[in-house]
Structure 1
Amino acid sequence: MNIENIQQPFIKKFPGDFSGNTMQRNTPKVLFSTVNPVGFDHPQLIAFNKKLSEEIGLGKFEEKDLDFLVGNNLPENIKTYSTVYAGHQFGNWAGQLGDGRAILAGEITNSSGQKNEVQWKGAGATPYSRHADGRAVLRSSLREYLMSEAMFHLGIPTTRALSLAFTGEDVVRDIMYNGNPQYEKGAVIIRTAESFLRFGHFELMSAQQEYKTLQELTDFTIENYFKEIQSEGNQKYKDFFESVCRRTADLMVEWYRVGFVHGVMNTDNMSVLGLTIDYGPYSMMDEYNLNFTPNTTDLPGRRYAFGRQAQISQWNLWQLANALHPLIKDEKFLEDILNDYGSYFWESHDKMLCKKFGFDELQSGDEDFFTRWQSLMQDLQLDYTLFFNELEKYDDQKDLRLQFENVSYTFLNDEKISRLEDFIKDYQFRLEKNIISKEKSLEIMHKTNPKFILRNYLLYQCIEEINAGKTEMLEKLTHALENPYHTIYPEFSAKRPSDYDDISGCSMLSCSS
């Protein structure tokens, strides 16, 4: 791989701590600290993303590159570092946080001039580890490796995964935080993104009243990642904030389109570029439930439940607005943009739902139709993805119960079938208002509704197999997630088996990783 081409523009631009000290500590007046990956004596490669490596400019993998993939024996041109930021966690100000076990190698530029940051996760402690060991386990590492790639192929802005490797270490984790720690296999991934900048980077500089660095950071972000912004003065910062709001709203709509639930939408887990970032206790939606949260830490309040993600993203943007206020200096502008956020989101959301149903455009009465649909989905415990797949294949000559019985997580009695019949009639009546043909309507649905989603129970099975030394399921899941709008493996395009309902890691997860 072309690791000699990795550069460090960020650490050349901003104040940092070059001590290399990994002791957990506060680092005021800096944005990063240099730190070396811990190094692993007996690594073993599990997966390598060849297509991504070529795409970002790292080139082909050779056996000697395994050292780089786990942070061993790095060349002199690479000065590794971690960044400091802050955040609101579950609605409370947490103060200084930072890259606790994420270590940046730097930035690589491909032949087209596109830049991507390259970062290890699980390669050891940093000054921002908050007394943790900086390691990661296979369980969480595989989940991030596969899910970030699944989101990319679904067409959703996201960080991506380059490699996954065993470290050769065993790591102690208390998976359910119930006083039952156990050894698990350690792992490290490399992930990439145009940038890993978060809301929390700006929050920390503002909270510390480091306004000069805040301005420099914002200028750097606009110059490198928001090239469409050409304005000057504080209008530039207004345009930046408005763009972050739009990107965030667009991301939320995409999450709702495929049924993705992040699980821990703290401000330190929010990308200013509008990327899906930090795959912890996430889940794809099985049975439709606006109150579903995959994160055990989020109970009982369900702050980050599926149906609240847009609201929480707006709340997080309020915190970013407060952080950027010293640059923007216009309370009314910030309030207007944030108040308009809901209108923009709901209009975009409903247009997205129109595509899922095959409607050519949003019409009067569609909002009521969507509300009735949500009620039906929840009451009949219908699988979110499979419902739309079945709707695409609906045949009024076939028995409705037979068509939808494998879509529901409850028995469809006569009353429920009657409700479903009424809804289907309403749906057929609404389709008749389309100007486009039925074939065009189905084409829109096929492009909008995935046939494969990476369900938690499939990930659980894959983790179990890799722990047992098998890779067949990993290979099949990788093939399936690269083709999410096609049914590659019919057995993967099915609702969660009841055997997995109460198994930790299949529906609910902790933040343990």
Structure 2
Amino acid sequence: MWGPLVPWTVAWAAWAAAAGRAVPEAAGASRACGRAPLCLNESSLQQGCCERERGAASFSAWGLSSESLLDPFPIDPIQENYVRNVRNCIFSVAYPTPFKSRVLLVAVSKEVLEDILDLDISVKEKVDFLQFVSGEKVTPGSVPLAHRYGGHQFGIWAGQLGDGRAHLIGVYTNRHGERWELQLKGSGKTPYSRNGDGRAVLRSSVREFLCSEAMHYLGIPTSRAASLVVSDDDVWRDQFYNGNIKKERGAIVLRLAKSWFRIGSLEILARSGELDLQRRLLDFVIQEHFPSIAVNDSNRYLEFYSTVVLQTANLIALWMSVGFAHGVCNTDNFSLLSITIDYGPFGFMDSYDPNFVPNTSDDERRYKIGNQANVGLFNLNKLLQALKPLLDPRQKQLASQILEEYGKHYYIRFTELFKTKLGLLGENEDDNYLIAFLLKLMEDTKADFTMTFRQLSESTEDQLKELHIPEEFWALQDLAKHKLFSEWVTRYLLRLNRNKGDSDTKRRRRMATVNPRYVLRNWIAESAIRKANLNDFSEVHLLQQVLQHPFQRQQAAEKAGYSQRPPAWAKDLKVSCSS
């Protein structure tokens, strides 16, 4: 068994030899830059070495490192890739399973490639890039890993879960000094696949690729997506768990995050009594991702917990501000860095409804949009339970008090965001009532969430004062049917008059920067998926462009009807955990 004290190159060479794999020539020789494995030899150093300084590295000279994840932790000593109960490690070495059929590169994110991975967009034309993003080729310096974690699923401890269809293929530190962990999703079986086949299908992969990027441009902390590939491999799915098994196509998303550690990463160690390993993982996470916390501070776990509580409250408030429901808010899907991860049966609300549930598998409506803040509290409590074995009695008491403040943090942040959506400046004791009043009107009239706020940002004060709602403002027209609409408008205009140094033009301009005109509604994603299933990826590409500028009116988006009333068939759409 080789652990954290064994040099990573030696450990990997030993593993690769035992597994019958060839060790790439550049493995261990790619640290010439001192920051990331890009420059592979002395001649490249003499030629100016890092093309990445110009932000456009060639793919043949580009690589990843697994050193920062292999060195600190013991690795699963079992080399074979079969489903099993794993203990006393954070990762298992597991290689992606290449597709058997042809693979097509459907889409890439230019910003992710160029600004995060230091690659020129032209890399998408290269065969070795396609092999890389489809799991066929491993870059020098990379040791593909599957992460061991557990979690509470729908409120019940589910035991060992882990990366059942994802491979962490390496870490990249870019020219900005940012550290990113790259993961293939849908890339085959791992020791944590349970009864699954390790694959993801095209429909769910399109949704993840588009939504992770859409959330980024909405200003919400999220994982990113670099590429999407589809194969002709058959993948069989019972999409709605009703016995109707259908053949679908396998797909893979290359996604990135600063870290993929989640609440469940700590829960599995606490539950298994692996406290030394839990402490090592916590110290690693703090040192790498929480620079304001001193790693030798005796209260570091308390400070860590306080930060996660605050950031989780912020994240869920941000979700609510754009009408986003995650769909599966299990503890294994909640990031320790409080970013949005693991896009499954998510949904953006059309009509405002606190009981909106995007996941048809959620029979108890546990994860309805109006319950997300409460679920956040539940998950943070489970994190606290996992941390308690590492805290002294005083720290446990303080941690419980920190958790009690979660509701206040969430409420403050929610109010701030919705005040901004309404263009309100300064403080007024009636602001909370004004927000609640509007949401109640929206609920009663089933007014569209996104477009109600957007059309308020496009309405002049004179139009509101006269209750003159233009015909194209269909969401506001729905809202105006409420008998109390005029009363709300009167209160709203009085409040706007209290905005010191403001003008109607400034107010509308300000509101237009925070109230999106376009979000990835389920019906819009479904439209793109239906075309993609016929090898027509034009709408995937269109949505990529539109969702990069969600606050700007776009001619192509208007032509596609993305800001119009959702079609009637949208109400019958179903999304499940199956992917």
TM-score, with normalisation over the residues of structure 1? Answer: 0.95
Are the equivalent residues in 1 in contact too, given 2:76–2:88 (CA < 8 A)? Answer: no
Instruction: Verify: 1:14 aligned to 2:51, yes or no.
Output: no
Cα displacement (A) at 1:484: 0.8
Cα displacement (A) at 1:411: 6.5
CA distance in 1 between partners of 2:482 and 2:160 (Å):
53
Deviations 1:293-333 (A, max 9, x none): 1011212x211111111111111001001111122222211
Residue matched to 1:38: 97
Instruction: Verify: 1:457 aligned to 2:517, yes or no.
Output: no
Cα displacement (A) at 1:81: 1.1
Pick aligned residue for 1:163 from 227, 234, 252: 227
Residue matched to 1:342: 407
**What is the aligned-residue identity percentage?**
37
Pick aligned residue for 1:426 from 466, 477, 491: 491
Instruction: Verify: 1:271 aligned to 2:335, yes or no.
Output: yes
Residue matched to 2:545: 479
Residue matched to 2:47: none
Cα displacement (A) at 1:446: 1.6
Residue matched to 1:500: 570
Cα displacement (A) at 1:76: 5.0
Deviations 1:118-163 (A, max 9, x none): 1000010111111100001000000000000000111110001011
Are the equivalent residues in 2 in contact too, given 1:87–1:96 (CA < 8 A)? Answer: yes
Are the equivalent residues in 1 in contact too, given 2:107–2:541 (CA < 8 A)? Answer: no
For residues 336-485 of structure 1, the aligned pairs below 5 Å read 336-395=401-460, 396-397=462-463, 400=468, 402-403=470-471, 406-407=474-475, 416-438=481-503, 439-485=505-551
Cα displacement (A) at 1:58: 4.7
CA distance in 2 between partners of 1:171 and 1:230 (Å):
48
CA distance in 2 between partners of 1:35 and 1:336 (Å):
41
CA distance in 1 between partners of 2:426 and 2:417 (Å):
10
Partner amino acid, structure 1, of 2:239: I
Rg: which structure is higher?
Answer: 2
Instruction: Verify: 1:221 aligned to 2:285, yes or no.
Output: yes
Pick aligned residue for 2:192 from 98, 106, 128: 128
Deviations 1:148-179 (A, max 9, x none): 00001111100010110012201000111100
For residues 54-93 of structure 1, the aligned pairs below 5 Å read 54-60=114-120, 61=123, 62-93=126-157
Deviations 1:6-63 (A, max 9, x none): 3331122111114332211100111111111111232111011232112223513123
CA distance in 2 between partners of 1:283 and 1:186 (Å):
22
Are the equivalent residues in 2 in contact too, given 1:37–1:123 (CA < 8 A)? Answer: yes
CA distance in 2 between partners of 1:456 and 1:419 (Å):
31
Cα displacement (A) at 1:362: 3.3
Return 5+ residue gaps in structure 1 as ranges. Answer: none
Are the equivalent residues in 1 in contact too, given 2:213–2:225 (CA < 8 A)? Answer: yes
CA distance in 2 between partners of 1:35 and 1:374 (Å):
48
SS at match of 1:473: helix
- Aligned CA RMSD, in angstroms, stands at 1.8
SS at match of 2:488: helix
CA distance in 2 between partners of 1:403 and 1:348 (Å):
34
Instruction: Verify: 1:194 aligned to 2:244, yes or no.
Output: no
Are the equivalent residues in 2 in contact too, given 1:354–1:362 (CA < 8 A)? Answer: no
CA distance in 1 between partners of 2:328 and 2:301 (Å):
28
Are the equivalent residues in 2 in contact too, given 1:487–1:493 (CA < 8 A)? Answer: no
Q: Greater RCO between the two (CA within 8 Å, min separation 6)?
A: 1
Partner amino acid, structure 2, of 1:49: S
Are the equivalent residues in 2 in contact too, given 1:173–1:181 (CA < 8 A)? Answer: yes
Are the equivalent residues in 1 in contact too, given 2:523–2:570 (CA < 8 A)? Answer: yes
Residue matched to 2:19: none
CA distance in 1 between partners of 2:82 and 2:183 (Å):
20
CA distance in 2 between partners of 1:10 and 1:230 (Å):
20
* 1:285–1:419 Cα change, 3 Å: same
Partner amino acid, structure 2, of 1:456: N
- Equivalent pairs counted in the alignment come to 505
SS at match of 1:382: coil
Residue matched to 1:323: 386
Pick aligned residue for 2:245 from 181, 191, 194: 181
Are the equivalent residues in 2 in contact too, given 1:206–1:323 (CA < 8 A)? Answer: yes
Return 5+ residue gaps in structure 2 as ranges. Answer: 1-58
Which structure 1 residue ranges, 4+ long, deviate > 6 Å from structure 2? none
CA distance in 1 between partners of 2:398 and 2:506 (Å):
41
SS at match of 1:176: coil
For residues 20-31 of structure 1, the aligned pairs below 5 Å read 20-31=79-90
SS at match of 2:162: coil
Farther-moved stretch of structure 1 (352-361 vs 225-234): 225-234
SS at match of 1:298: coil
Pick aligned residue for 1:4 from 41, 57, 63: 63
SS at match of 2:254: strand
CA distance in 2 between partners of 1:130 and 1:465 (Å):
32
SS at match of 1:4: coil
Cα displacement (A) at 1:429: 1.5
Are the equivalent residues in 1 in contact too, given 2:454–2:515 (CA < 8 A)? Answer: yes
Farther-moved stretch of structure 1 (441-450 vs 314-323): 441-450
Are the equivalent residues in 2 in contact too, given 1:350–1:362 (CA < 8 A)? Answer: no
SS at match of 1:296: coil
